Amino acid sequence: MANEEFEEYKPAFEGGEIFAFEKAGDEFIGKLIKIRPSSKYETNIYDFETSDGLKTIFGTSALDFRINESLIGKKLKIVFKGEEKNPKTGRMYKDFAVYVAKAK
């Protein structure tokens, strides 16, 4: 099958612009539309609809613990709390608070 047959098509799903938390207090608000597994890391990839268009956030252990498929379709607010030290392992990790918008 020749590639030119598909020139009028686009991928069925593309992630949005990458959103990265940079400093403690950074906030992100959007409607979670999809959770995808990362092919490179053992974390998830989260796709959101926002007022600025489609955005993608790469998961961390802390986000993966707090966000699950029951939240798909809901508006979330994610707040980066900064880096914390795990008291058991001594390793640093990025900590987040995740809030769900109240139903109207």
Using one digit for the tens of pLDDT, what is the confidence trace for 52-99?
Answer: 999 999 999 999 999 999 999 999 999 999 999 999 999 999 999 999
Between 2 and 64, name the one with better pLDDT. 64
Residue 70 φ/ψ, nearest 5 degrees: -65, -15
Give the integer Cα–Cα distance in Å for 76 and 68. 12
pLDDT > 70: percent of the chain: 87
Pairing mode, strands 75-85 and 92-100? antiparallel
Structure tokens at 65: 């613990």
Give the integer Cα–Cα distance in Å for 50 and 89. 36
| Domain 14-100 falls under CATH 1.10.3470 | no
What was the pLDDT predicted at 11?
A: 57
Report, as an integer, the average pLDDT of 30-53. 91
Can you give the residue ranges of every domain in the chain?
14-100
Pairing mode, strands 17-18 and 53-58? parallel
Q: Specify the pTM.
A: 0.81
Asked if residues 62 and 79 have their Cβ atoms less than 8 Å apart, the reply is no
